[in-house]
Structures are given as structure tokens and as C-alpha cells.
């Protein structure tokens, strides 16, 4: 069934098809339509779920944690300040090995007040132990929502799927909505291995002494490593069902390229267009889209970027005092590439607070990356007028 | 009340195991023991950060024979809401889900989540065992600390300035089906309130005064006696309120001077006679308010 829908509703439909059992959420622009649609679905009976209308995002995540340890499939959505407010509980969900799934609609952090997109909200949560998947289209949003539950429940880790405010959240695109019976085959009801059970009473999350804490973190890290393989299998199954797959990393027109752009989120679509035009003009430019940010696709990126002359990473985010976060992670990943194969990496910071990244901006970036012998600094800010 | 009657009225099943890690004389495990007896084994416990995070025992142990979820300080009511929703989503509407929090997790950092759960009338029981300060971190004042008390953040030269927050009035203002105070010195009253709460659906709140020998600077064997003195002197009256309006007392509160209760606790030893007289006036004024609540339902 094809439907035209905004990105936010692609999330809602993904949650509906996943038969989430408990939703707990608090409104924040630009996320709100996700949970508005879910509340309609619960109210009209199309989604058989409990919807807890909490008094804060903090309690939204806390309630999801409770519902998850009770053994159910749980979901929430948020943005920016709401995600930041959840921070402590993000650790609790991940450390507690609870497969909560959350959509984060990327919104820049205040102050100054803003509702427009950048990735600093989700990337600030990098080290909380959540798997992070960045989406480019509404179809990918729908697919990734469903895949997220399968992935989360297989490795007992929470998953954050991420989409750009407005450029995706409020933009209508056709979405092929997979039929319920097909999704049911792909994603059966959750059967939790560990849960609150009066027939088998256990304590969860108790004090852990130094002689055991580190082992718990080791298992968490092992689960993150395992998530790479599990995601591949999840995509295999989804592709068999729908014909669609995205990969943790996508290589677009990279054959023989001497310059590769690296993007995430909706900037990718604009970059595809620019790459097509450059290729048509005979220029060997390609594109790498990074979908999976945690666990980080280190191996894939080394293989794709090693041996290329120049790499331009486009970061819609900034780690103050350092640089663009994807660029920093990729620089680090490339350290183990033999020096002769190591590309010159240009890290561009752009599009913060929802500033538009047009084809002309990406054209300038390609030209600048070709023209300069080396980047003059680690963070090359695009379009800043002082 | 005779020992026989108490034995008949308190269920015999023990859901709190021996070997817990409470300090000698602590009222908190006594309260938990009685509450779990009243609730029975079909119970799940949510435990935000508090003394009980330690009392329950470290991984991989637990002193409770019911499922227990340790959680962040401010999330007791929200996590309990989520567990209840999860159980209901799987067709279990019978299991009792409780949040068990200290005064810090209730009066202070957990108040927002508690208010949210109360306003939504979540089908949970929220217990606050109130030792009147942040005892687990080493006796810092909370908004449940009484006026005049020494704590490590209200030194004797500048003790607590504020009266104890009226948490029962706050909960009653949410018009929840049931709220009550209870005392470890009145075990039958406590058990009866918990049993009553268990049969009611929606949000229930039970506030238990829990004397703390290290924090109150009292002897280990004075806990029950102090808890009884708090009730009798009207410092901590035993009450219940249904639907936010129908208040009633559940014990005799003869009144009389608060001084013996205050002077037994070294946390008040710096107080002058005038200051103790001030506490007396405050207790008397508050008693008037409470009797009016019982009389007029507000």
C-alpha cells in the first residue's frame, strides 16, 4: 500500500506496523506529529497499545524503561531539549539492556531558541549506549522504525532512529507501507529473556561493585559489536520481504572517484543530485552516506575511503572546541589505513540550526576540496558571515 | 493492643529476607516488611535511589522475594507507571506495582514524576518512607526535614529554616483515590491501610515516618518508641484521605508536649527552650488545620 505522508507519520506508521504495546511521550516541536498520530491510532483501536501521556520527556523515557522491563515493546519520540532532558535515562535504558526504540527528530539545541534541524541533539547522546541510525527519506524512516525493534530486541540494546526536522519530518513523500501480515512475519511479538516476573523474582539494576561493573560494560560493548552483524541480517530479511535495503553505509557512484563526499540525513539527497551533475560533466566524484553512527561502521568506512585522494565530510553538527563529529570519527577510523592510502580529509561544518544546504553549497565544497592542497583547519565552517 | 491481636492481624508470609543491609534500628526495613506482608507475593517493586538501594543488597543478591527494579532517583512513579502499562498490555491487571521511595525521591527530586502519575491516576501504590533527610548520602536536609533540625547541610549554628513540606496536602490536591500516613509503631494500622489501598484502583499514596538512628542521632532501640511519640504528640498524625476530600484520623492523638519527642533526638539538641516552644506552636497550629480537614473535608 502506497501512501503519501510526512516523515513524522512514517515513524508513526512504522510503530503501528511494529505493534508497539506501550507508548509514552511528551510533545515537542518538530516531533509532536509522531505521537499525535499514534494517539489517534490508539484511540481508534487500530493500535492496541497503552499510551502514557507523561508530564515530561524524562518521565517518557522512565515509563518506557518500566514497560520494557515488564517485557513489552515500547516506543517514544522526541527532539532536542526533550532528548537532552532524557539523558540520564538513556544510560539507564542502555545499561539496563532494554530494547526501547525512540525516534529523534533532529533539532538544534537552544539557546538561542530554535526548532530547525541539526544533529547536535542526537550526537550529544553518542556515549549513552544507544544504537543510532540516521535516515534520508520517509521510506527509509518507515523501514528503519520497524527494523529498529528487530535489531533492539535481538541484541538487548535501545535504538534511536534519527531524521531531520522539517526537511524530513514535515515533508511529504510517497511511502510503501508494508502490509501488517508481512511485518508480523518479520517482527513477531517480543519475548523478553529477562523481565519483571513474580514467578521468578529478580532484582534489576542493583549496586554493582568494581569487581563486576566492568564485565557488565564489556557485555554491553560486545552487544554493540554484535549489532553490526545483526543489522545486516535484519536488512537481509527486510530486503527479502520488501526489496529495500540501505546498509550501515551506502556507496553512491564511487567507482574510480578521487573525491568522495560523506553525508548523513537529508543532505545526502542534495549531494546525490550534485554528484549526478558532476558525473555527467565527467568528474570522478562520489558519495558515502553514513546511516549507522553507533556502532560506528569503522571497517566499511576504511574500506571505502582508503585509497581515495580526497574526502569531504559534511557535518550538520559541531563539537565545540573540536570540529564536526562525523569528520572526527572518520579521521580516527582512517588512522589505521596505511599512510599512502590515507585520504586528505576536509571537515566541513554547515547547515546548523536549519540553515539550508543547497546544491550550490555542495558545489562550493567540492571545488574547495579540489583546489586546496590541505585543509587550513580541522573545522571548515561553510557560509558563516561575520 | 495485645500481642495476640497483632499476630492475628499481620500476615505471616515473609517477603523480606534476612541479610538486608539496613543500619541497626532503621525503620525502613520494618516498613517494607509490613508492607510486603500486606501486599503479598503478586507485587513488583520499583526502587528509586534511596537508602533502600543499599538495603536491598548488591548484585547479584536481593533481600526481596518479589521482583525489584532499581531506578534513577527521580523516576519512581514514572517507571512504576510504565511497568503497570506493560503488565496491562499483556493482560495482567492484578499484579500490584509499587514505587518505594525515600523523602528525597518523593518530596524533592521525584515530585514532578509523582505529580504526573497522580494526575493521570495511575494504578500504582507509591510509598514514601520518610526519614526526614538525605540519609543515604550522609544526612543532608530535604524538604521533609523538620524546622530546627541539624543535618550536615543545616549545621547547628544555622539549622533548618523551613517547615516540613505538607506532602499529604499536595497528594490530596490531586484528588487521588487514597492517601494515608502510617507508622512502624502502629503495625496493624499500617497493614490495614496497605490492604485497603491494595483493593482500590488508581493512584494510592502512603507516607510512612521512618526514624533513622544515625540521622536523628538516637539510640538503635528507640526507633519504635520515637515513631509512637511522633504520632501521640501530633507531630506525625495517622490519617487517611479518600478522593482528596474525605479526611479522617485513624489513631488517637492525645497531644501533650512535643518536648520529650524533640529532646530525645540529638539532631535537635542545639534548640533553646524558646525554639522548642516554637515547634509546639507550629504543631498546635497544624493540628487545628488537620482537624478542620477532617471536619470540613478540605
Q: What is this model's ipTM? A: 0.97
Shortest distance, CA B79 to any CA of chain A (angstroms): 4
pLDDT of B37 above 60: yes
pLDDT at B7: 78
Cβ-Cβ contacts under 8 Å between A and B: the total is 164
CA B36 to chain centre: 14
Contact list, A62 vs chain B (CB under 8 Å): 71-72, 75, 78-79, 82, 113
Residues 6+ apart with CB under 8 A from B274: none
Cα–Cα distance between A251 and A297 in angstroms, integer? 13
Shortest distance, CA B164 to any CA of chain A (angstroms): 25
Contact list, B69 vs chain A (CB under 8 Å): 66, 69, 196, 203-205
Binary contact (B75, A206; C-beta < 8 A): no
Binary contact (A205, B71; C-beta < 8 A): yes
Shortest distance, CA B9 to any CA of chain A (angstroms): 25
Grid cell of A235 as nine digits: 536488512
Is the four-CA dihedral B184, B186, B187, B192 of positive or negative sign?
negative
Confidence of residue B2 (pLDDT cuts 50, 70, 90): low
Which among A198, A204, A206 is the nearest to B57, CB-wise? A206
DSSP state of A189: P
Please tell me if residue A192 touches chain B, with a CB cutoff of 8 Å: no
Query: For B48-70, what is the mean pLDDT?
Result: 97
Per-residue pLDDT of chain A in tens (386 residues, 90 and over written 9): 999 999 999 999 999 999 999 999 999 999 999 999 999 999 999 999 999 999 999 999 999 999 999 999 999 999 999 999 999 999 999 999 999 999 999 999 999 999 999 999 999 999 999 999 999 999 999 999 999 999 999 999 999 999 999 999 999 999 999 999 999 999 999 999 999 999 999 999 999 999 999 999 999 999 999 999 999 999 999 999 999 999 999 999 999 999 999 999 999 999 999 999 999 999 999 999 999 999 999 999 999 999 999 999 999 999 999 999 999 999 999 999 999 999 999 999 999 999 999 999 999 999 999 999 999 999 999 999 99
Task: Quickly count: other Cβ atoms within 10 Å of residue A208's Cβ.
Answer: 16
A16: closest CA among A43, A60, A49?
Answer: A49
Pairing of strands B239-242, B246-249: antiparallel
Cα–Cα distance between B5 and B99 in angstroms, integer? 29
First to last CA, chain B: 32
What is the tens place of the pLDDT at every residue in B114-141?
999 999 999 999 999 999 999 999 999 9
Binary contact (B70, A205; C-beta < 8 A): yes
pLDDT of B6 above 80: no
H-helix or E-strand spanning residue A15: helix A7-17
Binary contact (B67, A197; C-beta < 8 A): yes
- Asked if A15 and A23 touch (Cβ cutoff 8 Å), the reply is yes
Which residue in B has a C-alpha nearest to residue A54's C-alpha? B116
Cα–Cα distance between B47 and A368 in angstroms, integer? 57
Contact list, A49 vs chain B (CB under 8 Å): 89
**Site from B78, B87, B91, B122 to mutate, A interface, most A CB atoms within 10 angstroms:** B78
Shortest distance, CA A342 to any CA of chain B (angstroms): 45
Confidence of residue B5 (pLDDT cuts 50, 70, 90): confident
Chain B neighbours among A 47-86 (CB < 8 Å)?
49-50, 52-56, 58-59, 62-72, 74
Which residue in A has a C-alpha nearest to residue B113's C-alpha? A59
pLDDT at B142: 98
pTM over 0.95: yes
Q: At what angle do helices A57-69 and B111-119 cross, to 10 degrees?
A: 70
Please tell me if residue A197 touches chain B, with a CB cutoff of 8 Å: yes
pLDDT of B3 above 90: no
Grid cell of A21 as nine digits: 504495546
For B237, list phi and psi in degrees, rounded to 5: -65, 150
Grid cell of A188 as nine digits: 513477531
pLDDT at B4: 66
pLDDT at A190: 98
Please tell me if residue A361 touches chain B, with a CB cutoff of 8 Å: no
Whether the upstream peptide bond of residue A306 has omega within 30° of 0, thus cis, is no
Instruction: Share the mean pLDDT of chain B.
Output: 96
Which residue in A has a C-alpha nearest to residue B84's C-alpha? A67
Which among B42, B53, B85 is the nearest to A67, CB-wise? B85
Instruction: Work out the percent of chain B whose per-residue pLDDT is above 90.
Output: 96
Please tell me if residue A207 touches chain B, with a CB cutoff of 8 Å: yes
Amino acid at each position: 500500500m502506497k501512501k503519501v505522508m510526512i516523515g513524522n507519520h512514517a515513524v508513526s506508521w512504522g510503530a503501528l506496523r511494529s505493534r508497539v504495546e506501550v507508548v509514552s511521550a511528551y510533545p515537542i516541536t518538530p516531533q509532536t506529529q509522531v505521537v499525535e498520530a499514534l494517539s489517534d491510532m490508539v484511540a481508534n483501536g487500530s493500535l492496541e497499545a497503552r499510551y502514557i501521556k507523561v508530564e515530561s520527556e524524562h518521565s517518557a523515557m522512565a515509563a518506557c524503561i518500566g514497560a520494557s522491563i515488564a517485557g513489552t515493546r515500547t516506543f517514544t519520540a522526541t527532539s532536542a531539549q526533550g532528548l537532552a532532558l532524557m539523558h540520564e535515562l538513556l544510560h539507564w535504558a542502555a545499561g539496563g539492556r532494554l530494547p526501547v526504540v525512540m525516534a529523534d527528530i533532529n533539532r538544534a539545541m537552544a539557546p538561542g531558541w530554535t526548532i530547525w534541524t541539526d544533529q547536535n541533539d542526537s550526537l550529544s547522546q553518542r556515549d549513552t549506549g544507544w544504537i543510532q541510525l540516521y535516515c534520508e527519506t520517509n521510506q527509509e524512516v518507515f523501514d528503519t522504525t520497524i527494523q529498529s525493534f528487530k535489531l533492539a530486541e535481538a541484541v538487548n540494546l535501545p535504538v534511536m532512529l534519527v531524521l531531520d526536522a522539517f526537511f524530513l519530518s514535515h515533508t511529504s513523500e510517497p511511502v510503501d507501507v508494508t502490509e501488517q501480515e508481512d511485518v508480523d512475519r518479520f517482527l513477531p511479538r517480543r519475548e523478553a529473556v529477562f523481565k519483571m516476573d513474580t514467578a521468578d523474582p529478580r532484582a534489576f539494576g542493583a549496586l554493582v561493585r568494581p569487581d563486576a561493573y566492568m564485565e557488565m560494560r564489556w557485555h554491553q560493548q560486545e552487544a554493540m559489536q554484535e549489532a553490526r552483524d545483526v543489522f545486516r541480517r535484519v536488512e537481509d530479511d527486510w530486503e527479502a520481504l520488501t526489496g529495500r535495503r540501505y546498509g550501515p553505509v551506502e556507496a553512491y557512484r564511487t567507482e574510480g572517484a578521487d573525491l568522495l563526499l560523506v553525508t548523513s540525513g537529508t543532505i545526502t539527497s542534495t549531494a546525490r543530485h550534485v554528484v549526478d551533475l558532476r558525473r555527467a560533466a565527467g568528474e570522478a566524484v562520489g558519495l558515502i552516506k553514513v546511516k549507522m553512527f553507533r556502532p560506528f561502521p569503522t571497517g566499511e568506512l576504511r574500506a571505502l575511503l582508503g585509497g581515495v585522494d580526497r574526502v569531504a565530510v559534511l557535518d550538520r553538527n559541531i563539537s565545540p572546541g573540536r570540529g564536526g563529529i562525523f569528520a572526527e570519527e572518520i579521521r580516527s577510523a582512517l588512522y589505521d589505513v596505511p599512510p599512502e592510502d590515507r585520504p586528505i580529509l576536509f571537515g566541513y561544518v554547515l547547515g546548523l540550526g536549519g540553515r539550508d544546504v543547497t546544491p550550490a553549497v555542495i558545489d562550493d565544497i567540492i571545488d574547495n576540496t579540489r583546489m586546496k592542497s590541505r585543509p587550513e583547519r580541522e573545522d571548515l565552517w561553510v557560509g558563516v558571515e561575520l | 493492643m495485645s500481642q495476640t491481636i497483632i499476630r492475628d492481624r499481620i500476615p505471616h508470609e515473609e517477603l523480606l529476607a534476612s541479610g538486608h543491609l539496613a543500619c541497626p534500628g532503621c525503620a525502613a526495613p520494618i516498613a517494607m516488611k509490613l508492607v510486603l506482608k500486606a501486599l503479598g507475593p503478586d507485587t513488583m517493586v520499583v526502587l528509586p535511589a534511596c537508602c533502600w538501594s543499599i538495603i536491598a543488597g548488591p548484585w547479584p543478591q536481593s533481600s526481596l522475594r518479589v521482583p525489584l527494579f532499581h531506578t534513577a532517583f527521580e523516576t519512581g512513579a514514572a517507571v512504576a507507571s510504565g511497568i503497570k502499562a506493560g503488565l496491562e498490555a499483556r493482560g495482567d491487571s492484578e499484579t500490584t506495582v509499587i514505587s518505594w521511595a525515600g523523602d528525597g525521591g518523593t518530596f524533592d527530586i521525584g515530585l514532578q514524576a509523582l505529580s504526573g502519575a497522580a494526575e493521570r491516576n495511575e494504578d500504582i501504590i507509591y510509598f514514601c518512607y520518610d526519614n526526614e533527610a538525605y540519609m543515604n548520602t550522609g544526612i543532608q536536609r530535604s524538604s521533609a526535614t523538620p524546622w530546627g533540625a541539624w543535618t550536615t547541610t543545616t549545621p547547628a549554628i544555622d539549622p533548618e529554616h523551613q517547615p516540613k513540606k505538607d506532602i499529604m496536602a499536595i497528594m490530596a490536591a490531586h484528588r487521588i483515590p487514597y492517601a494515608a500516613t502510617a507508622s512502624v509503631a502502629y503495625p496493624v494500622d499500617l497493614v490495614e491501610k496497605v490492604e485497603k489501598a491494595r483493593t482500590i484502583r488508581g493512584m494510592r499514596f502512603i507516607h510512612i515516618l521512618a526514624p533513622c538512628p544515625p540521622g536523628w542521632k538516637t539510640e538503635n532501640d528507640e526507633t519504635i518508641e520515637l515513631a509512637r511519640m511522633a504520632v501521640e504528640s501530633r507531630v506525625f498524625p495517622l490519617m487517611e484521605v479518600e478522593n482528596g476530600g474525605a479526611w479522617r484520623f485513624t489513631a488517637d492523638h492525645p497531644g501533650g508536649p512535643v518536648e520529650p519527642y524533640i529532646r530525645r533526638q540529638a539532631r535537635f539538641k542545639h534548640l533553646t527552650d524558646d525554639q522548642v516552644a516554637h515547634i509546639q506552636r507550629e504543631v498546635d497550629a497544624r493540628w487545628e488545620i488537620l482537624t478542620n480537614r477532617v471536619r470540613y473535608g478540605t
